[in-house]
Amino acid sequence: MKTIFAFIFLSSILIFIRCSTSEPDRRAEGLMINDQEYFEMPGLNVMVYHDYYAVGHQSGITLIQNGSRVAANGDIRLYPQERPFPVNGNRIVDKENNAISVNVSYPDSIRFGSHDPRDEYPDLEVLFAVHVKGEGNSIRISVDLDKPIPEKWAGKAFFSLELFPAQYFDKTWYMDDTPGIFPRQVNGPVRYNDENQVIIQPLAAGNKLVVLPESPTEMITFESKKEKLELVDGRSLRNNGWFVIRSPLSEGVTAGAAEWLITPAFKPDYWYKPAIQVSQVGYRPTQKKVAILELDKREKNVGDVTLLRISGSGGYETIKSMKPVIWGQFLRYQYAQYDFSEVQGSGMYQLKYGGILSNPFMIDEKVFKRHVWQPTLEYYLPVQMCHMRINDRVKVWHGLCHEDDALMAPVNHIHFDGYRQGSSTLTGFRPFDPVPGLNVGGWHDAGDYDLRVE
């Protein structure tokens, strides 16, 4: 009996040792800074100024919840115009205190002094320090200034964060005790100031905002420890606007001009769902064929990938099954490669990994014969033709357009699409003179009819 008891006791010790030396459970630690300098735990990632594309909602502080980017552009903004954006410096990472800081400033030396009639650069010179600290499953954001906000900009400088609208359409929120629903349609409210600028009015204001309280794994709580939070519908001002949470920077202070505590819910057992990437066009029989698997970076037990041929009479035929080759990690994911180059039989195929099926694809000599480059010539380029009306059967893609096109660019100007004109036109034409011979033909570029749909 003693021998049996000793064996059980020893086995328990071995199990304990095996568990304690395995990979640590990041859920117990909360949000921690990883080697890529962002906060990480299963189901939550918080990036701090890893991107700089504010127009595309990819800048400042970004929140990824259960694998989806739900909030971005956490930064200092000036309202009502919202633009131009400040410039930010490098991240200062303090792993010991689990904190990241970034200096953000007006003016941006690249854009300062250049004229844009849509977005005059503000006469504001101030340096902000944005601090982000992981505290369990929460992040604390605080803003310090090198000097108080000038009186002219009091109540116009905000710390703000934007929520991706489609994630929240028809879902609920509470601002303190006031309930509401995120509208699918832009319903305001707005007003106009003395300069005829559109001023977005808040949907609600308070100290604590809870979004998606009905979802225990998607809910996010925002608390402002300083000025009140405002929830506004940024789509009222711009077609590509998102829902905006903001609070004005406190007047007359430098340290702690803003302080937020953000607590996102998450799926405690979150695991990234594998994705299989194959050629959308398909493959010729003799070409190299390598599929890419995108996996959770914690995945240790990578299983087999199976190549299935779709039968013309119904069902599948298993062609090949084997373990993919691990390629390695890139950013937030782990990748593996599955080579099936030796398969040359004509037909429709799919790849299967676990319970995941890839898109159907073709292996055939004629994969490039149709539906590859032809639609660009037959549809896309004709639809994008400029300076004319484009009819397509019973619909009109667009009417006669850009009749006032081909004007000489103004000097010292940065256009909203990034084009920059220096101090001279470098020609005999004056700013805004029509340039003959150019207002014909051509195609629209990405800046025309551009409704961003991230």
Same domain, 171 and 235: yes
pLDDT of residue 297: 92
Domain span at 98: 26-264
Segment 11-32 mean pLDDT: 50
- Specify the higher pLDDT residue, 416 or 182: 182
CATH assignment at residue 257: 2.70.98
CA distance 147 to 156: 16
Q: How many domains does the chain have?
A: 2
Domain boundary, last residue among 321, 339, 363 = 363
Same domain, 178 and 309: no
CATH assignment at residue 305: 2.60.40.10
Share of the chain above pLDDT 70, in %: 89
Same domain, 235 and 96: yes
- Specify the higher pLDDT residue, 32 or 21: 32
Residue 104 CB neighbours (<10 A): 21
pLDDT of residue 3: 45
pLDDT of residue 193: 81
Share of the chain above pLDDT 90, in %: 66
Q: In 3D, which of 337, 339, 360, 338 has the Cα closest to residue 350?
A: 360
Segment 84-97 mean pLDDT: 92
Where do we find the tokens 């037990």? Answer: 301
Q: Which of 183-192, 286-295, 358-367 has the weakest average pLDDT?
A: 183-192
pLDDT of residue 377: 92
Residues 6+ apart with CB under 8 A from 347: 309, 310, 312, 362, 363, 364
Please, what's the b/e burial string for 37-53 (b: 16 or more CB within 10 A of its CB; e: otherwise)?
ebbbbbbbbbbbbeeee
pLDDT of residue 115: 52
Residues 6+ apart with CB under 8 A from 195: none
Residue type, 427: T
- Whether residue 176 lies inside any domain: the answer is yes
Q: In 3D, which of 176, 165, 305 has the Cα closest to residue 244?
A: 165
Which range of 139-143, 249-253, 311-315 scores highest in mean pLDDT? It is 139-143
The pLDDT-based confidence of 110 (bands split at 50, 70, 90) is low
Domain boundary, last residue among 363, 381, 404 = 363
Where do we find the tokens 């593996």? Answer: 336
The pLDDT-based confidence of 119 (bands split at 50, 70, 90) is low
Same domain, 251 and 296: no
pLDDT of residue 189: 83
pLDDT digits (tens, 9 = 90+) for 316-345: 999 999 999 999 999 899 999 999 999 999
Asked if pLDDT for residue 450 goes beyond 60, the answer is no
Same domain, 226 and 280: no
Region class of 136: left (phi > 0), else alpha (psi between -120 and 50), else beta: left
- Whether residue 33 lies inside any domain: the answer is yes
- Whether residue 118 lies inside any domain: the answer is yes
Domain boundary, last residue among 333, 363, 393 = 363
Same domain, 145 and 242: yes
- What predicted TM-score, i.e. pTM, was given to this entire model? 0.80
Query: How far does CA 360 lie from the centroid of its chain?
Result: 28
pLDDT digits (tens, 9 = 90+) for 270-293: 999 999 999 999 999 999 999 999
The pLDDT-based confidence of 244 (bands split at 50, 70, 90) is very high
Segment 159-171 mean pLDDT: 96
The pLDDT-based confidence of 109 (bands split at 50, 70, 90) is low
Residue type, 193: N
Same domain, 245 and 294: no
**Backbone phi, psi, residue 99, to 5°:** -140, 150
- Whether residue 163 lies inside any domain: the answer is yes
pLDDT digits (tens, 9 = 90+) for 3-21: 444 433 334 433 333 333 3
Same domain, 153 and 257: yes
